[in-house]
Every structure is written in structure tokens, then in C-alpha cells.
Structure 1
């Protein structure tokens, strides 16, 4: 349900052609600090914040296929809208979103005899701008691509990752002039204006009925490169009738971290239809990360061991990963001999579900997307009959039109059956979670699984993610590794893998990383009596409020989240200086009253913690002890 916060005012201003063409169209944010300007021929756009040009004049337009390109355009009319409403949220980083913007639909008419029209929807929020194209009519539309590009003003420093199918490439810090010509970069690309007064992220939202895109580096610009299906490299996109593209988005704030609480990406998506109050966020025991492919074999006893651990620990879920289904059990290829509607010999899935349910644990199942896509109803109906609570679907590794459609279909199909959905081998979020809150998390991130394969999951990498990939939406990083170390002591191993960060940082990830379904990734025996596991048992996965307190990408972060009256702090550092650091945290965000602060801080070795309790108020400052490659976690509970 969407409720008005103040008022919702829609006013259509039908401007005569001569008047509309007299000047570029300007749309400004409600607070007047952000504006987007569209040239009267729909050729370019410009973005400003607080009087500073953030995106210099940049190209607009579509590249049509099979029909003549649009000729010279002129603004025919504009229809303005003002919106201010609150949207209740389910299982995410806040209890509600304020959707407040000024917008316009700009109607451009071709000056050639054909007189075709191009519609440009434009919105200006207090934390960013967005625009998209529309072509009305019943005729199919074929696109070679978009002319859309973003030309960052000046030569800002940016955080960027090379685009690849799985979207699991580390982020690099470089100026726009240092981006490799002809290289495609993933969204978001996150930059800080040369003045230092504005941080911004270039990304996309609401892919439904369209296709994904990357940002191609071309002469100081980042040009939209549409993703085409592998068996149809051109045209990149084909519609059945008319066209509505994805939103092109520039998120903005004073600091990069200020964009973490933003609801902009979700607000650009349709709200959910129907009741999603059944969606239950939480943590899941998980059997893959600790190494079962080399050790644990699928079987009732082994699965019951994880169920028993989840039950004893108060975890609502256990995710059974690859190997449970009938046929070859490999994880990465969709072997046609595998049947994901039948369990492997010796595994009684309905009995396993009953065993788990009796212990208040719900089961989730892994499947390869190719085993689901062609028989979705049959697969999901089977799981619903068994009593499965959710699915993890993997290895799409694409973001073209066909895969975007698959996301829409599987989100709707799982919602219909009251199942959670976790997508791996996934593209970066574009806000589909807003429309389908059961789509509770997704990968599209270089997460902890890489600890089993190489040395890339460094503390610096971990401290890049909150400021980059996480701006777009939840990330299934899969934290919880309790064989903790430092980059100097780390060794790659597949079974019982290590981490390059301390136990304190392992705990902090459960606050810092946004994922309403969080994995508890290590083996149950590792957690038995382990320092800090009590925090993992207590920390929520969905929140009423999120606040960025301090930090710098790749270096450190302190993030505060609230559920009910309790606040939770996560602090992480990539600093490897001997002796670590002391991180002062002002508690000015707390309401009046006294709070019990329970701190889990780094100890003398990477696997040790210091657990401290004290009374505090909003006037106090906590000083957290962070070891090299370390972190800390805090729970703040009111005492009255």
C-alpha cells in the first residue's frame, strides 16, 4: 500500500511547439539543489548539483534497426508531475521509502514528414536524477543500441569494475581519463567530482521489458552498451510493440557513503502487487562454502547435521547447495541428465522437509537456471509440494533481454508460491526487489566464495563493496568465515577456507553488507563455542533504518542500522598497520535515554575477540579497537 506523505500533484502543461522549443527543458529536484537539463532537440542532457556541473552535456537518443532513424526532433509539449509519498517496504534496509520527486514527460516530434514522436520521462530527486525513453504504438521496435552516454565533468576519480557475465570483478580506483578506451565497465561506476563537493553513481533501474547494459569508455564518455542475447548479437533488443527502456540513473550525495541509504533505485520500479507479509528475512546455514564438494557427500545424515545446527542456532533456513538432485551433481554446467524435480538416490526430500519443519527450519534448494527456465512451473510446483521455502538459482551469467525476462518470470512464479528467491551468477540489481520482495537477495558480486579459489578477497576489496556494488541493491556476499587471518597469513584452500580479515570484520559484515537473506557460511563445527557467534545469532538481516556514519572507499566504514528500538553498528578497516587503529564513533544518532552497548572488538589474534558491555547515551563516543584487516560490531539496546 502506498500512502501520501504530503500531497501528490499531477499537472499537465501542454506547451505550444514554438514556446516549448524556445529553451532547453529543465527539471529540478524538490529541494532545488539538483537539476537535469534536456536540449530542445532531445540531443543532449546535462546534470548539475548545487550549481556545479556533474555530468557535462552528454548524448541522448536511440539507434533504431530496420527502419529509418528518427530525424530532427523538436520539443512539442511537456507534462509535469510532482510526487511525494511514502512506500512501506518489506525485508530490506528500511521500513519505508520516501518517493519524492519532480518529473516531466517530454514529447519530441520528428520534423520530417513521418512525424514520429519520442517520449522522454525525466525525474529529479533530492538524491539523483533519472530518465528513460518511450516509443508508443503497436508496432515492434528493434534497437541496435542507445546513443546515451555520460560525460563526467572534469576528470573525476572513479571506482569502476570491468564488465563480465557474472559481474564478479574487483573495483579499481582511477580517473575517467585512465579508463581503458573501448573497455566496457559494469554499473555502477561511482565517481567524486573534482571539486570534492559531490559524489555520484551512474547506474540503471527497472529493466523489465528491456535489456541490461554496460558503460563503454569512449573519449572521456561512458556510453551505454546494450547487452544482446548470445545467439542474436544484433539487434540488441526487440520489442513486441512499442518501447519503454530502462531508467538511466545518476545517484548523488555529498559523500559516496551518503548514497548507501538511498531508495532511488527501488523508487524507479513499480511497487509490489499483492500481499508480501509472508516474506521472512533471516540467516541460513549453508553447506557449500566449507567444502562439501571435496568432503561431505549428499545424504540424509549430512543434511540433518546442518538442519540441527540451524535449529540450535536459531537460524530460520538451511540452503542445500549443488549435488542434491538426481543425476550428475556438478555445480557449473546444466547437465541434461540432471533432473531437479527428483532428489538423488537415498535422499527423501519430503522427509527432510518434515524433519526441518519440526525444528522450525525452512529448506532452500539450489538449481541451475537452465534446468528451471524451460520447465519453471513443473519445477516450482514440485518444490511447493515438498514444502521448500525458497530457491537459489545460479549461472545465468548474462543480462540480455532473454535473461531479464527470466528474472521477471521467476520472481513472479516464486512469489505466487510464497517462495524466497536468491539469484547467483546474477547481474547487478536494478530494483526488481521493490516489485517482488520475495526476491530477497542476489549475487553479482565478487564475494567470499573466491576465498576458495584465489587471493582477491582482500580487506581493501571488502571495503570497496559498500560504496560501489551495494549502492545498487542487496548483495549475497556470503559472510561468516571463521578461519580468520590477515593477507600475510592467508592461503588458498578449498576445504575449510580461510579469510584475509579478522573475526571482528567477519561480524561487522552482517551489519555493513545489505542482504535480507544472509548466509552463515562456515561449517557447523567451526561455530561451536566460537567467539562472536553469539552476535551472528542475534543480528537481524532486515532493518527499519540505515545510516552511514563515516568511511572512505577501500579503506574503512562505520555503518549504523536500526531494527525496532535497537541499533547495530558495523565497523571495518582495510588498514594493515601493525597495532591496528582506534575508531571513534559518535553516538549522536541515538534518541534520548540510556543504552546498553555490547561490543565485539578485535582481540590479540585474528580469531580472538574482546566482548565488552557498558552504558552509553547519545552524548557519548565509542572508541572501537580495530586490528589490522579488522572490524568490530556493536549492539545498542535501550535500558527503559
Structure 2
């Protein structure tokens, strides 16, 4: 099977325009439904503005690049010609997250400028994007890129504030007025802008390669400006996993002069539900580089680290040893879980070839093979980089199926390129990749579909040392962080509590919110390599929950949003083949009446339902399991507790 690229339905070049002078209306671009309008101005600096349904969102916002060699794309722009096209295609993702067939419809305007550069704008019905393209010869040093978003009005900003460029991109979203964000405040992406009339824009990027990641900082005005980590000149290794940049250059990238630069993406929504189905980051990413993707196998993972290998009721001492991992494999096999991870501890830190004597990896691989369970190995990024080719060769020789690469904590140009190197080297050996301690997704998973997921999210691990993540944070993530791509939040806690009964603890951790809040994450959160974070011993005590977790898939053919509000609630229905799954999460107690008219295929469905129990508001582990017969003509009422959830599997049946 080749990597799915495009199934073209309709693609037409509309016009070439070549005039000595152009009227302002010649530099307008409309979305296919004509409701989004981009206006480009050519004055001292190239700028664009954005309006939705005639309402301005962005005032003229300058865009420009600064090269050490003197080139200044965007400064005193002189237009040579305009190229326009309308595209209507269907994209077939190699690893589908929301949809197995993604419609891609956009209008494009390419401005060819004097000085050897282009600026490309695209308008979709659900957002816009722009990028620079240069045609310079040789290597060029980029000192900066001007990304300067000037807002109409003073929107709220969901602002994941960072302290420095050394970051795991695991922040809480503070909601701040745009003009209250000062120049010293910086956020990683994505960020979300919310106007009081209900419209929202998510700001992020795509096709990030050989270039640093974009951050946004305040100005004390209703305006945010881009900032980038500069090239690292001097690094100091603090420990096996942490490399600190002590000195940076006065440029952000050294790169080939003939290339396209990352897309600056503004994802648009009139309703919060639109954010949950937005695929712009994937659509704007580079083309797949793999000829064969048939070996890429998404799946669920029995994970050891969060539960601290804390088994009980067994006849051996649990820990980092072969017996323990055989138990994880047996558990995974019983419930159809495709993988286990050997997280930190299987090798002597600093050398991937010094395997702990208590762990027999070849024996574990063979043990898993006989039971249909494959193994993923955790590695520190720096150690992997030092031993890359021989280490990956050894992993392939053992029969390992994936690597979890951790603690990069940067996205300067060198580190962005590191991600590509790892993805490519792993793909050559048919290894899956999960990046942890990472920056946000920015299109790599389309180029190398073996990169199934990544962290870059403030997830369940935080509960081991803090009163976090809260249900409100959990129900903010799908609208902002997940818009960029899959997130390895690592759900699945079977010990659940509300404040003040919650306690952060390392070895028997728990989650905030109800049991059904955790179950619903498997429907709402997108990750083609989805963790089961708790101990097999805890799961074995919860056969009803395992009935659901063993069935829920990790990739989807279709997604329907039933209810949604950022930071408050989300109700999603997703289809895998002919089976539907519904998940609901909330921060506060609430009820919904769900219209099931989205159900297609069967006349009736047998529904296995998990809902918050009547006492879940006090005892978070309280839930009820039931069965119902439903059809597309039905409406069902569901009730969720504080920090609650609801989950269901709907199997088609004929009556």
C-alpha cells in the first residue's frame, strides 16, 4: 500500500494576471463559500487583513522576512504577477484521525514579487494560511520573520505561557485580554483567539521543516508578534536528557535559498464545534515520503511508567524485570491491546547497548510475538542521537516495533531537523515513533506517517506530582492543542477523585474527575498510539471498563460533533467501520439531549453505555453500565456529574 496522497476530484487553474498595476480588489481572496475574505496590501510592507461575514478580525498585519545577505521579502513589495487557482480534492490520510477521507477545498492566490520571492495565500471555509517562497541561490541566513497579528477589537487569548525556549510545551491555558499580554510574555502554539461575537481563530503552523518553531508574544496592545528560537551556538549537557543552550546566534535559520517556508495557519470557527473537526494542519503539511505504509499499525499500549509498574496479586516481585513485562504482555493479549512500552529503566542511562540484566528483550519480543503483542522502547533523545544507526539496527534485529523518544524540550532549527532525521531513520527499519518532551505537531505525521503521536500536552502524568490536570483543562485541550494533531495525553486512570479527596502521589496515582470522564477520553482524544496508563492489576479489577477499552479504536473513519464549548464540554460521535462510539466530557454538571440522526447504515443499534453513577459527584469512581436499543430516529438524554463523562459503543443490528 502506498502512502495516500490525493484523490483528485476537481482542480482548475483560474487565471494568470500580469498587469503593470493592480487595483486593490485584485488582491482579495475569498474562501470557497465566500464568507472569509483576505485583503493584501502592497505599501511600505506587505500586509494582509482578514474578515469573516464582513466583520473584520485582523487589521492590516505586516509579513516580512529578514535575511543577513540583505534580501527583505515583504519590504517595499513590487508585484510582478498574480496566479490564482481553485482546488477541490479528497485527501486519503495514511493514518486517519478524524476522517478517512478529508475533503480539501480552497482558493489560492500566489503573489510573484520582484526580488525572487513569492507569497502564497490560501483560503478555506474553515481558515486561512500564508507562506513565503524564495528562489535565492546558495545558503541564506534568516535573521527574523515578521509575524505580526493586529486584531480588530480586543479578543480573549487562550495563552499557554512559556518561560523560555527550553520547554516541553506542556502549559495550562490562561485566558487573557490581548492588550493585557506584555512584551515579556511568550506562548507556544497553538493559541486560541476568542471575540465576544463568538468567532474564534486558532493560530499555529504547518509544514515546519529546517526552520525554528513559531511562538507568539504580547505587545501590551490588541496585537501579538511572532518570536523564534535562534540557532544554538553553544550547548551544555546538564544530564543524560537535558541539553541547555548557553549561546545562540543572531539568526534563526541557515537554510537553502530556494525553498518554501512554514505555513502560518489561522483556523477559523463560528461555533466551537468547528475547531474539533479542523484538519488544516494536516492538509497544509508536506507530502508523504514513504512508498509503503502498510506496515504502520496504530493501536493501544499498556504503559508501565505512570502506574510505576505497581502490580499486585502476583507471585513475583514487580519491577523492571522480564517477569513483570511478561505480565503486561499477557494483560495486553487478553484484551486485544497491540503494544506494551518499556519506559525508563530498561537500559543504563547514557548507553542503549547496556540493557539491564534483569530484562531479556529478545525473550520478551518472542513472548509477545506468540501472543500478538509488540514492544516499543523508550529512549532519551540525546543518547539515541549519539548511537542512532547502530541502536536502531539493534532494535530492528530484536524485532522491536517502535520507539518513544523523550526530553528534546526544544524546537530551534537543529531540533526540528532532528525530528525529521529520527522519523526517516525509524521508517527505514519499519519502526513507529512517539515523541515525548516535544513541541506541538506541525505536519510531520503526514510526511512520515510512522510518527503516530507525540506529547507536547499537559497530560495525566502531571497528577503524579500536582493537583492537575483538572477537568476544565481536559476539556480545553481538544479545541486548541488537538487542533494541531494527535496528543499523547495518556488517559485511563482507574483511581478517580474530586477535590479535596484527590492526592498527588507517585506510585498509586489517581485522576481528577470521574471514571467516565476517563473513558470518554478514548473517544474524544485523538492519538493513533493511545496509552492505557494504569496498572494491569487495576484494570483486571474493572472488567466492565475493560469491555469498553478493549473495543475502542484509535483511528476513525468519521467524526460528528454533537455539542461543544471550549473549556466547558464536548460530545463527539465517531465511526470506525460500521460501529459508532460516543464520548462526552464536561467540567461542570450538565445534561444533554442527543439527536442520533447521524447514525447511518443499520436500522437499529445495540448500545453499550457507561455513565456517571448517581453518586459520582461525591465518589468519582461511581458509574453505571447499561444496554439500550437505539435508532437514528431517537433522542437520548444523558446526565454528567461535575468533572464527568459518558461513553457508549453502538453496534449495528437489523430488526
**Structure 2, unpaired ranges of 5+:** 234-247, 312-316
Q: Which moved more, 1:424-433 or 1:139-148?
A: 139-148
Q: Give yes or no for contact 1:440–1:517 (8 Å, CA) kept in 2.
A: yes
Aligned residues: 618
Find the counterpart in structure 2 of residue 146 from structure 1. Answer: 145
Is 1:533 aligned with 2:546?
yes
Find the counterpart in structure 2 of residue 33 from structure 1. Answer: 35
Is 1:276 aligned with 2:293?
yes
Is 1:628 aligned with 2:642?
yes
Find the counterpart in structure 1 of residue 610 from structure 2. Answer: 600
Q: Give yes or no for contact 1:63–1:144 (8 Å, CA) kept in 2.
A: yes
Is 1:59 aligned with 2:72?
no
Find the counterpart in structure 1 of residue 244 from structure 2. Answer: none
Show the 5 A alignment for 1:498-537.
498-530=510-542, 531-537=544-550
Find the counterpart in structure 2 of residue 570 from structure 1. Answer: 583
Find the counterpart in structure 2 of residue 383 from structure 1. Answer: 395
Is 1:554 aligned with 2:555?
no
Cα distance, 1:3–1:429 mapped onto 2, change above 3 Å = closer
Q: Which moved more, 1:615-624 or 1:451-460?
A: 615-624
Displacement of 1:488:
2.2
Show the 5 A alignment for 1:412-431.
412-431=424-443
Distance in 2 separating the partners of 1:221 and 1:495 = 45
RMSD over aligned CA atoms reads: 1.9
Distance in 1 separating the partners of 2:24 and 2:193 = 33
Distance in 1 separating the partners of 2:26 and 2:145 = 21
Displacement of 1:569:
0.8
Find the counterpart in structure 2 of residue 83 from structure 1. Answer: 87
Structure 1 residues 361-420: Cα deviation after superposition (integer angstroms, max 9, x where no partner): 000000011011233222211111110010000000001101110111111222222111
Distance in 2 separating the partners of 1:47 and 1:69 = 24
Is 1:9 aligned with 2:12?
yes
Displacement of 1:22:
5.8
Cα distance, 1:120–1:356 mapped onto 2, change above 3 Å = same
Find the counterpart in structure 1 of residue 408 from structure 2. Answer: 396
Displacement of 1:347:
2.2
Q: Give yes or no for contact 1:447–1:477 (8 Å, CA) kept in 2.
A: yes
Find the counterpart in structure 2 of residue 585 from structure 1. Answer: 594
Q: Pick from 76, 100, 104: which aligns with 1:99?
A: 104
Find the counterpart in structure 2 of residue 74 from structure 1. Answer: 78
Given the two structures, how large is their TM-score scaled by the length of structure 1? 0.93
Distance in 1 separating the partners of 2:53 and 2:197 = 12
Distance in 1 separating the partners of 2:232 and 2:83 = 39
Given the two structures, how large is their TM-score scaled by the length of structure 2? 0.91
Q: Give yes or no for contact 2:607–2:649 (8 Å, CA) kept in 1.
A: yes
Structure 1 residues 53-75: Cα deviation after superposition (integer angstroms, max 9, x where no partner): 12221111012224364552221
SS at structure 2 position matched to 1:532? helix
Q: Give yes or no for contact 1:21–1:40 (8 Å, CA) kept in 2.
A: no
Distance in 2 separating the partners of 1:187 and 1:447 = 16
Find the counterpart in structure 1 of residue 239 from structure 2. Answer: none
Show the 5 A alignment for 1:153-302.
153-163=152-162, 165-196=167-198, 198-218=199-219, 219-231=221-233, 232-273=248-289, 274-292=291-309, 296-302=318-324
**Structure 1, unpaired ranges of 5+:** 110-115, 329-337
Displacement of 1:5:
4.6
Cα distance, 1:24–1:638 mapped onto 2, change above 3 Å = same
Is 1:314 aligned with 2:330?
no
Cα distance, 1:75–1:484 mapped onto 2, change above 3 Å = same
Structure 1 residues 265-301: Cα deviation after superposition (integer angstroms, max 9, x where no partner): 1111123231212211111001100124999532111
Distance in 2 separating the partners of 1:199 and 1:229 = 33
Distance in 2 separating the partners of 1:69 and 1:521 = 50
Cα distance, 1:68–1:8 mapped onto 2, change above 3 Å = closer
Find the counterpart in structure 2 of residue 20 from structure 1. Answer: 22
Find the counterpart in structure 1 of residue 236 from structure 2. Answer: none
Q: Pick from 327, 339, 363: which aligns with 1:305?
A: 327
